[in-house]
Structure 1
Amino acid sequence: MEIDPDDLFRDDEDDPDNELFQERESTKEFVVYLVDASPKMFTTTCPAGDRKDDTHFHVAVSCIAQSLKTQIINNSYDEVAICFFNTREKKNLQDLNGVYVFNVADREYLDRPTARLIKEIDNIEESFMSKIGSQYGIVSGSRENSLYNALWVAQALLRKGSAKTADKRVLLFTNEDDPFGSIKGVIKTDMMRTTLQRTRDAQDLGISIELLPLSWPDSDFNVSTFYSDLLGLKGDDLARFMPAAGEKLEDMKDQLRKRMFKKRLVRKITFSIANGLSIQLSSYALIRPTLPGAITWLDSVTNRPLKTERSFICADTGALVQGSAKRFQPYKTENIKFSVEELSEIKRFSTGHLRLLGFKPLNCLKEFHNLRPSTFVFPTDEVASLVL
Structure 2
Amino acid sequence: MADGNPHREDEAAEEEEEIDETTYRSVKDAVLFAIDVSDSMLTPRPSADPKKHTQESPTTAALKCAYHFMQQRIISNPQDMMGVLLFGTQASKFFEEDEDSRGDLSYPNCYLFTDLDVPSAQEVKELRALVDDDGDSRDILAPAKEQVSMANVLFCANQIFTSRAPNFLSRRLFIITDNDNPHGDDKTLRSAATVRAKDLYDLGVTIELFPISRPEHEFKNSKFYDDIIYKSSPNDPEAPAYLQTDSKAATATGDGISLLNTLLSSINSRTVPRRTHFSNMPLELGPDFKISVSGYILLRRQAPARNSFIWLNGEKPVVAKGVTTHSADDTGRNVEKWEIRKAYKFGGDQVTFSPDEQKALRDFGEPVIRVIGFKPITALPFWANVKHPYFIYPSEEDYVGSSRVFSALHQMLLRNKKMALVWFIARKGAGPVLAAMIAGEEKLDENGVQKYPPGMWILPLPFADDIRQNPETTLNVAPEPLIDQMRVVIQQLQLPKGVYEPLRYPNPSLQWHYRILQALALDEDLPEKPEDRTIPKYRQIDKRAGDYVLSWADELEKQHAKTSAGAPHPTSTLVKRGSKDRASETEDSKPSKKVKVEEGSGNLEEEVRKHHEKGTLSKLTVAILKDFLTSNGRSNAGKKADLIERVEEFLEQ
- TM-score when scaled to structure 1? 0.60
Question: In 1, distance between residues paired with 2:144 and 2:216?
Answer: 24
Aligned pair partner of 1:96 in 97, 107, 110: 107
Deviation at residue 198 of structure 1 after TM alignment: 0.9
Q: Does 1:203 align with 2:206?
A: no
Q: Does structure 1 retain, via aligned residues, the 8 Å contact 2:25–2:275?
A: no
Counterpart residue number, 2:214: 216
Mapped pair 1:251 → 2:262: no
Q: Which residue of 2 aligns with 1:134?
A: 143
In structure 1, distance between residues paired with 2:162 and 2:35: 19
CA contact (8 A) 2:207 2:230 kept: no
**3-state SS in 1 of match to 2:210:** strand
Contact (CA 8 Å) 2:206, 2:230: kept in 1 or not? no
Give the percent of matched residue pairs that are identical in Structure 1 and Structure 2: 21
- CA drift at 1:342: 4.8
Alignment of 1:180-199 (within 5 A): 180-181=183-184, 184=185, 188-199=186-197
Q: Distance in 2 between matches of 1:102 and 1:255?
A: 24
Partner of 2:386: 375
1:230 is displaced (CA, Å) by 1.3
The structure that has the greater radius of gyration is 2
Name the amino acid aligned to 2:64: S
Rate the CA distance shift 1:14–1:57 in 2: closer, same or farther, 3 A: same
**CA contact 1:248–1:255 (8 Å) conserved in 2:** no
Q: Compute the displacement of 1:80 (Å).
A: 1.8
Alignment partner of 1:168: what SS? Answer: strand
Change (3 A) 1:294 1:341: farther
- Provide closer, same or farther for how the CA distance between residues 45 and 294 of structure 1 changes in structure 2, counting only shifts above 3 A: closer
Tell me, what secondary structure is at the counterpart of 2:111?
strand
In structure 1, how many angstroms separate the alpha carbons of the residues matched to 2:276 and 2:230? Answer: 30
Which residue pairs with 2:36 in the alignment? 36
Q: Secondary structure at the match of 1:134?
A: coil
**Counterpart for residue 83 of structure 1:** 85
Secondary structure of the 2:246 match is helix
Residue 248 of structure 1: CA displacement? 6.7
Residue 337 (structure 1) shift: 8.1
Partner of 1:276: none
Q: Does 1:124 align with 2:126?
A: no
Give the whole-Å Cα distance in 2 for the aligned partners of 1:14 and 1:294: 16
Asked if residue 115 in structure 1 is aligned to residue 121 in structure 2, the reply is yes
Count of residues paired in the alignment:
296
Which amino acid in 1 is paired with 2:210? L
**C-alpha separation in 2, matches of 1:208 and 1:283:** 21
Deviations 1:129-156 (A, max 9, x none): 3345212432xxxxxx432221111111
Q: CA deviation at 1:173?
A: 0.8
Alpha-carbon distance between aligned partners in 2 of 1:238 and 1:284, rounded to the nearest angstrom: 14
- What is the 5 A alignment of 1:158-177? 158-160=161-163, 165-177=168-180
Q: CA 1:343–1:110 in 2, change beyond 3 Å: closer, same or farther?
A: closer
Check conservation: 1:175, 1:213, Cα contact below 8 A: yes
The farther-off stretch of 244-253 and 192-201 is: 244-253
Residue 14 of structure 1 corresponds to which residue in structure 2? Answer: 19
Q: 1:179 to 1:379 in 2, by over 3 A?
A: closer
Contact 1:285 1:375 in 2 (8 A): no
CA contact (8 A) 2:209 2:245 kept: no
CA distances 1:330-350 after superposition (whole Å, capped 9, x unpaired) = xxxxx99864445667x77x9
Supply the distance in 2 between the matched residues of 1:208 and 1:261 (Cα, whole angstroms).
11
The answer to whether structure 1 residue 242 and structure 2 residue 235 are counterparts is: no
Match for residue 544 of structure 2? none
Q: Normalized against structure 2, the TM-score is what?
A: 0.38
- Residue 211 of structure 1 and its aligned partner are, at CA, apart by 0.8
Instruction: Tell me by how many angstroms 1:14 deviates.
Output: 1.6
SS at match of 1:159: helix
For residue 155 of structure 2, the aligned residue among 131, 134, 152 is 152
> Structure 1: how far apart are the matches of 2:60 and 2:352?
72
Q: Deviations over 1:197-237 (max 9, x none)?
A: 11111111111111111123444211111111111469x99
Q: Is the 8 A contact 1:174 1:213 kept in 2?
A: yes
* 8 Å CA contact retained: 1:37, 1:87: yes
Q: Which runs of 5+ in 2 are unaligned?
A: 1-8, 98-104, 233-240, 252-260, 279-295, 310-337, 344-349, 366-384, 394-405, 410-419, 424-653
Shift in CA distance, 290/375, structure 1 to aligned 2, threshold 3 Å: farther
Kept after mapping to 2: 8 A contact 1:326/1:340: no
**C-alpha deviations, 1:345-388, integer Å up to 9, x for none?**
7x77x99xxxxxxxxxxxxxxxxxxxxxx934658756883359
Distance in 2 (CA, whole Å) between partners of 1:179 and 1:283 is 39
State whether structure 2 residue 46 is matched by structure 1 residue 46.
yes
The amino acid across from 2:72 in the alignment is T
Distance in 1 (alpha carbons) for counterparts of 2:248 and 2:16: 36
Q: Distance in 2 between matches of 1:283 and 1:171?
A: 24
Structure 2 Cα separation of the partners of residues 70 and 229 of structure 1: 32
- In structure 2, distance between residues paired with 1:46 and 1:337: 74
Point out which structure has higher relative CO (alpha carbons under 8 A, 6+ apart): 1
Tell me the residue number matched to 2:346: none
| Alpha-carbon distance in structure 2 between the residues aligned to 1:6 and 1:215 | 55
Q: Which residue of 2 aligns with 1:271?
A: none
Give yes or no for contact 1:168–1:208 (8 Å, CA) kept in 2: yes
- Match of 2:172, SS? strand
Residues 40/10 of structure 1: CA separation in 2 closer, same or farther (3 Å cut): same
SS in 1 for 2:176: strand
Gaps of 5+ in 1: 104-108, 139-144, 266-281, 296-323, 330-334, 352-373
